[in-house]
């Protein structure tokens, strides 16, 4: 069922008193891969690996933003380079706005998909489809990997 063209939302499920609980959702294929690798390696805290991956990504993005900001503050940088830096910041703001909207939509889809899973726990890899879009839903049960909370 895995196809590269459709977005994937991974529902990260744990259990409290025998009932499934939505612990987290992942939409990045890289984060999903990090979690699966941690689980395959029997990492006792697989979500910690995802958190570390996220922190690394944020750090790299901030480092680059600092570099671009540094270009803007240098008087000897050519005006066209400064203009590119300004455009980069404008693009970054648009991307962040788009990502927030995407996160909000993913959250709604994940909550609906979790209800589908609760009604039929055998459905751990399925598609949700609408008139214009399909989303692959993948349920990852942390308790099946001897998960322990990182909080």
Higher pLDDT, 144 or 9: 9
Closest by CA to 149, choosing from 14, 18, 36, 25, is 14
The answer as to whether 150 is a domain residue is no
117, 123, 127, 130 alpha-carbon torsion, rounded to 10°: -40
Instruction: Report the Cα 69 to chain-centroid distance in Å.
Output: 27
Over residues 61-65, mean pLDDT: 89
Share of the chain above pLDDT 70, in %: 91
Question: Which segments of the chain does DSSP mark as H helices, in order?
Answer: 29-40, 46-73, 79-119
Task: Tell whether 151 is covered by a domain.
Answer: no
How far, in Å, CA of 115 to CA of 22, rounded? 10
Residue-number span of the structural domain to which 20 is assigned: 8-145
Counting the structural domains of the chain, the total is 1
pTM, to two decimals = 0.76
Q: Is pLDDT at 132 greater than 80 in this prediction?
A: yes
Is residue 3 included in any domain, yes or no?
no
Residue in the structure block whose two tokens are 């069922």: 1
Question: Does 2 reside within a domain?
Answer: no
């Amino acid at each position: 069922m895995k196809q590269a063209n459709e977005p994937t939302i991974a529902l990260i499920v744990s259990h409290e008193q025998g009932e499934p609980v939505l612990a987290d959702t992942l939409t990045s294929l890289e984060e999903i891969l990090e979690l699966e690798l941690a689980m395959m390696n029997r990492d006792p805290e697989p979500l910690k690996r995802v958190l570390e991956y996220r922190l690394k990504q944020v750090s790299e993005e901030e480092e680059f933003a600092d570099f671009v900001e540094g270009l803007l503050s240098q008087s000897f940088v050519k005006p066209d380079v400064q203009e590119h830096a300004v455009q980069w910041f404008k693009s970054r703001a648009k991307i962040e706005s788009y990502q927030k909207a995407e996160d909000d939509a993913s959250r709604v889809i994940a909550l609906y998909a979790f209800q589908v899973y609760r009604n039929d726990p055998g459905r751990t890899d399925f598609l949700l489809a609408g008139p214009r879009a399909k989303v692959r839903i993948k349920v990852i049960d942390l308790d099946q990997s001897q998960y322990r909370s990182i909080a």
